[in-house]
């Protein structure tokens, strides 16, 4: 009789099921090691990684400069709390964020925190304080995080909002441009004008928060004309334009910030994910007269901008601001058919009805995993495959990943037919 020995993967997943809250979505790969675009699991299987821990590895796993910076920092000190002991890595990250800032208004300041959601919360706090206004405008297909304020700002009920109300007040939503689904810049701006007539006085709006490329919502890039017209509208009403670049920033689309493609200057920029090169770090950057509207003590936190994350971020920002990184990102953008390295494939049942094909996407992700590729979906219906290729990784790994992606799509489509 054959005896089934549990694999290491099965052992850890059983333990996971026994001890970890089921609300944290289950992942079936148990990781032992990662480098560049590759992950190895605890049973020795190798995968190409097109997820990067959801967009946190734009520079690939284990970039040597990042790993070396973290090792150095470990030997000096692990924690101080920046409100208790000043340390230079925090200042150096803020200096780089100032030098690289696409925002309006001269001298730039930043605050560093632990997560994208915390950074979005802080951007709203700063905007409210700077304008003395309460309201916040957000868009359909937005994802800004899972805290009370940011889940309110997020535009997807299951799994992010269902059962978690009551929600934060003074959040207003309009459709954002989604040309593939027939919503253009004109329509979205008309909806915003209508909102200002029907629902909220623009004179009470502190800020409008928008992802430059909507991430969880389906990798929807905001048209450049939309961003410039939106910027003018905000300016007209004294509303601050906050660019949430947690997923689209830090080199994901080529330039350090995706908003640079449009030439539009936001008032505040929110960064996160890849900023810490794999360690938790996020930030809010903007003009001194906006950010410093908050008096001393109004911003901060125990671990915000911790020394290890900052040491890593200095190396990450130097890398993504380099000419060689930009050239690599642009070359990668060509390889994935000109759509840039923030690529997504929206799967539909047929090109006329455009009915979202969520099941097909799930099958493709499963087929990819079996073939050795880690892939994620996104979008309101989970029907968009997002390809977060690490920009600095072996070309052969990326080619292998793209080949598996294609095979998996073919397999899923033939299964569905």
Ligand X SMILES: Cc1ncc(COP(=O)(O)O)c(C=O)c1O
Return residues touching ligand X (CB under 6 A): 54, 115-117, 120, 143-145, 211, 215-216, 244, 246-247, 272
Cβ 395 to ligand X shortest distance, Å: 27
Cβ 161 to ligand X shortest distance, Å: 14
Cβ 146 to ligand X shortest distance, Å: 6
Q: Three-state secondary structure along the chain?
A: CCCCCCCHHHHHHHHHHHHCCCCCCCCCCCEEEEEECEEEECCCCEEEECCHHHHCCCCCECCHHHHHHHHHHHHHCCCCCCCCCCCHHHHHHHHHHHHHCCCCCCCEEEEEECCHHHHHHHHHHHHHHHHCCCEEEEECCCCCCCCHHHHHHCCCCCCCCCCCCCCCCCEEEECCCEHHHCECHHHHHHHHHHHHHHCCCHHHEEEEEEECEECCCCCEECCHHHHHHHHHHHHHHCCEEEEECCCCCCCCCCCCCHHHHCCCCCCEEEECHHHHECECCEEEEEEHHHHCCCCCCCCCCCCCCCHHHHHHHHHHHHHHCCHHHHHHHHHHHHHCCCCCCCEEEECECCCCCCCECHHHHHHHHHHHHHHCEECEEECCCCCEEEECCCCCCCHHHHHHHHHHHHHHHHHHHHHHC
Cβ 212 to ligand X shortest distance, Å: 9
Closer residue to ligand X, CB minimum distance, 149 or 368: 149
Cβ 318 to ligand X shortest distance, Å: 22
Closer residue to ligand X, CB minimum distance, 274 or 408: 274
Closer residue to ligand X, CB minimum distance, 320 or 402: 320
Cβ 194 to ligand X shortest distance, Å: 25
Closer residue to ligand X, CB minimum distance, 246 or 320: 246
Cβ 66 to ligand X shortest distance, Å: 18
Rounded to an integer, what distance in angstroms lies between the CA atom of residue 311 and that of residue 330?
Answer: 27
Closer residue to ligand X, CB minimum distance, 246 or 314: 246
Beta-carbon contacts of residue 107 (< 8 Å; ≥ 6 apart):
98, 287, 288
Rounded to an integer, what distance in angstroms lies between the CA atom of residue 247 and that of residue 332?
Answer: 18
Cβ 301 to ligand X shortest distance, Å: 13
Closer residue to ligand X, CB minimum distance, 256 or 404: 256
Rounded to an integer, what distance in angstroms lies between the CA atom of residue 150 and that of residue 252?
Answer: 22
Which region holds residue 238: left if phi is over 0, alpha if psi is between -120 and 50, else beta? Answer: left
Closer residue to ligand X, CB minimum distance, 145 or 277: 145
Cβ 180 to ligand X shortest distance, Å: 19
Closer residue to ligand X, CB minimum distance, 216 or 267: 216
Closer residue to ligand X, CB minimum distance, 284 or 367: 284
Rounded to an integer, what distance in angstroms lies between the CA atom of residue 344 and that of residue 336?
Answer: 10
Q: Which residue is nearest to ligand X (CB)?
A: 116
Cβ 150 to ligand X shortest distance, Å: 7
- Give the closest residue to 398 by CA, choosing from 410, 386, 389: 389
Closer residue to ligand X, CB minimum distance, 116 or 340: 116
């Amino acid at each position: 009789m054959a005896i089934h020995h549990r694999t290491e993967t099965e052992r850890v997943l059983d333990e996971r099921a026994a001890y970890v809250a089921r609300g944290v979505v289950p992942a079936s790969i148990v990781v032992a090691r990662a480098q560049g675009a590759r992950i190895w699991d605890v049973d020795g299987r190798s995968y190409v990684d097109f997820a990067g821990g959801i967009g946190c590895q734009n520079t690939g796993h284990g970039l040597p400069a990042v790993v070396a910076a973290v090792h150095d920092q470990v030997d000096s000190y692990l924690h101080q709390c920046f409100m208790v002991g000043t340390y230079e890595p925090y200042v150096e990250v803020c200096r780089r964020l100032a030098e690289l800032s696409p925002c309006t208004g001269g001298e730039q300041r930043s605050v560093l925190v632990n997560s994208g959601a915390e950074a979005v919360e802080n951007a709203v706090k700063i905007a409210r304080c700077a304008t003395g206004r309460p309201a916040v405008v957000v868009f359909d297909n937005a994802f800004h995080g899972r805290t009370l304020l940011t889940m309110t700002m997020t535009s997807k009920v299951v799994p992010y909002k269902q059962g978690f109300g009551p929600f934060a007040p003074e959040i207003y939503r309009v459709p954002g441009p989604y040309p593939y689904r027939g919503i253009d810049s004109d329509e979205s701006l008309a909806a915003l004008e209508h909102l200002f007539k029907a629902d909220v006085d623009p004179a009470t709006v502190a800020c409008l928060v928008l992802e430059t490329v909507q991430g969880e919502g389906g990798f929807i890039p905001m048209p450049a004309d939309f961003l410039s017209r939106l910027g003018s509208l905000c300016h007209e009403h004294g509303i601050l334009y906050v660019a949430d670049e947690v997923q689209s920033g830090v080199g994901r689309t080529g330039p350090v910030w995706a908003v640079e493609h449009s030439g539009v200057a936001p008032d505040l920029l929110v960064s996160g994910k890849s900023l810490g090169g794999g360690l938790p770090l996020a930030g809010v950057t903007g003009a001194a007269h906006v950010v410093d509207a908050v008096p001393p003590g109004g911003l901060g936190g125990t671990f915000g901008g911790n020394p290890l994350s900052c040491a890593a971020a200095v190396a990450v920002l130097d890398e993504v601001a380099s000419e060689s990184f930009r050239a690599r990102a642009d070359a990668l953008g060509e390889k994935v058919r000109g759509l840039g390295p923030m690529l997504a494939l929206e799967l539909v049942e047929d090109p006329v009805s455009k009915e979202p094909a969520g099941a097909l996407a799930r099958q493709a992700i499963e087929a990819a995993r079996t073939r050795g590729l880690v892939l994620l979906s996104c979008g309101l219906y989970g029907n968009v495959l997002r390809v977060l290729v690490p920009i600095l990784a072996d070309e052969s790994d990326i080619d292998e990943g793209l080949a598996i992606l294609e095979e998996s799509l073919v397999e899923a489509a033939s299964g569905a037919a």
